[in-house]
Amino acid sequence: MIYLDYNATAPLRPEALDATVATLRSVGNASSMHHAGRDAAERVDLARRQLASLLNCSAGEIVFTSGATEANNLALRAACAGGGALVTTAVEHPAVLEVARAITDATPNALVVLPVDADGNVDLAKLDDALEDAGERGTALVSAMLANNETGVITDLSPVIKAAHAAGALVHTDATQYVGRLPIDLDELDVDLLSLSSHKFGGPQGVGALFVRRSTSLPFHPQMIGGGQERGWRAGTLNVAGIAGLGAAAEAACLKMHEEAARIAALRDTLEAGLLAHVPGCRINGIKASRMPGVTSVTFSGVPADAVLAAMPDVAASDGSACSSGAPSPSHVLLAMGRSREDADSTVRLSLGYATTPRDIERGIEAVAAAVAQVRSSLAADTE
Ligand code: PMP
């Protein structure tokens, strides 16, 4: 199999596998006072420090969760608990967009969804308008993703943070597709809240974290109650083995991050050049924007993406985002970028990561080119 679906999930890093298995073999509830409990708590503390070092924040600013979905829910619900408008973008993951809609549902005009341009860049002028228009109610939160899961387009958060903070709003970023892939420094990037998920950077699935800046005046608003874990922010016995795996993956991702990002970007560029050269009528979405190194979103005009994927069973890739695969609606991200419904339905996402090799790319180009040609010829035969 040629695995080109890192944005859906990355293969488990060997270091993460070792840490997870070693912890599963041990015993102890991180809340227990005895020796076994302290051992579990130490494994959690180590992972907290490993993640804090990846993010350049302090370990006490991390709340472990079951993933980015939960972290996003926690962040948005806490920040908006006291009322105030919520501003977000049209290209967010459903784990932000649907939460945003749910929590502002009962209050007219409490939600502003910022449009993006044809390359997926957020319209900052509209952010200024939204912050001004919030009036008396004010804006509680601006939530903008750091990197898009479908296109890899990176949001330039600095102006967003500046404008939001000047208006008294908190800033949350869904950094799920960025963390562990490009360097991040939370001393510099002044967001109040940040969500991440371990399995996107080679840790196990079902574990993630919310960064909550210590100086942030965030109202205490846990969703899970019934235990004092994670300083009361997230009740329930900790997933110690998952957390240990996340920590080990964070540490491994830190090593040679710049070199790895450059290597992966070069492979992605080779992939795109190969597809543009060998597949007539293909177009790369967000190509003019600043993008993550390891992803490409390619539209094959007039060729349904699900048929392309079915025609290359040895390639693991995705039509649009994995989370919406199987759903009949077209990608809201591509529609927001002004693509037609037909183009959105003809778009394949190929995503690379730490274990991708030049051979994967070579074989990937051949497989995609052959699959698109095969689908095109069967569509042509059907219309004859
Ligand atoms: N946000 C983004 C940008 C994502 O790509 C994903 C995963 N597809 C999530 C949130 C949700 O992550 P998880 O399913 O691990 O909770």
Rounded-to-integer distance, Cα 309 and Cα 317, Å = 7
Task: Give the nearest ligand 1 atom to 145 CA.
Answer: 3
Prediction pTM value? 0.96
Summarised one tens digit per residue, pLDDT across range 158-184 is: 999 999 999 999 999 999 999 999 999
pLDDT on residue 322: 46
Average pLDDT (263-274) is 98
% of the chain exceeding 90 in pLDDT: 90
| C-alpha 69 – ligand 1 centre gap (Å) | 6
Q: Which fold has domain 2-10+256-383?
A: Aspartate Aminotransferase, domain 1 (3.90.1150)
Strands 208-212, 62-65: pairing is antiparallel
The confidence band for 218, taking pLDDT boundaries of 50, 70 and 90, is: confident
Q: How far is Cα 27 from Cα 366, in angstroms, rounded to an integer?
A: 48
14-254, which class in CATH? alpha beta
Among residues 57, 80, 254, 323, which one is catalytic?
323
What is the arithmetic mean of pLDDT over 260-276?
98
CA distance linking residue 350 with residue 272, whole number of Å: 10
Structure token pair of residue 227: 């235990």
Q: What are phi and psi of 349, to 5 degrees?
A: -105, 125
Question: Out of 107-116, 117-126, 133-142, 320-329, which region has the weakest mean confidence (pLDDT)?
Answer: 320-329
Mean pLDDT confidence for 312-322: 85
Report the pLDDT averaged over residues 62-83: 96
Separation of CA 93 and ligand 1 centre (Å):
7
**What local confidence, expressed as pLDDT, does residue 220 receive?**
80
Decide if 80 is catalytic.
Answer: no
pLDDT greater than 60 at residue 324: no
Q: Are 110 and 86 in contact (CB under 8 A)?
A: yes
- Strands 208-212, 193-197: pairing is antiparallel
* pLDDT given for residue 115 in this prediction: 97
Question: What is the ipTM score, two decimals?
Answer: 0.99
Mean pLDDT of the chain: 95
The whole-number average pLDDT for the span 70-89 is 95
CA distance 292 to 384: 42
pLDDT computed for residue 326 by the predictor: 55
Ligand 1 shell residues, CB under 6 Å: 67-69, 93, 95, 145, 149, 174, 176-177, 197, 208, 323
Spacing, Cα 200 to ligand 1 middle (Å): 8
Distance from Cα 263 to the centre of ligand 1, integer Å: 24
Band (139; pLDDT cuts 50, 70, 90): very high
Kindly state the average pLDDT of the residues 67-76. Answer: 97
Give residue 364's pLDDT.
98
What is the pLDDT, as a whole number, of residue 62? 98
Q: For the purposes of burial, counting CB atoms within 10 Å of the CB of 286, is it exposed (0-12), middle (13-18) or buried (19 or more)?
A: buried
- Domain ranges for the chain, please list them: 2-10+256-383, 14-254
pLDDT-above-70 percentage for the chain: 98
Pocket test for ligand 1, best of 6, 89, 93, 210 (most atoms within 8 A of CB): 93
Give the range among 23-27, 60-64, 129-133, 322-326 with minimum mean pLDDT. 322-326
Residues 114 and 99: their CA atoms lie apart, in Å, by 16
Confidence of residue 137 (pLDDT cuts 50, 70, 90): confident
- pLDDT band for 247, please (50, 70, 90 cuts): very high
Residue type, 209: A
Name which of 209-218, 317-326, 361-370 the model is least confident about.
317-326
Whole-number pLDDT of residue 327:
57
Mean pLDDT of 288-307: 97
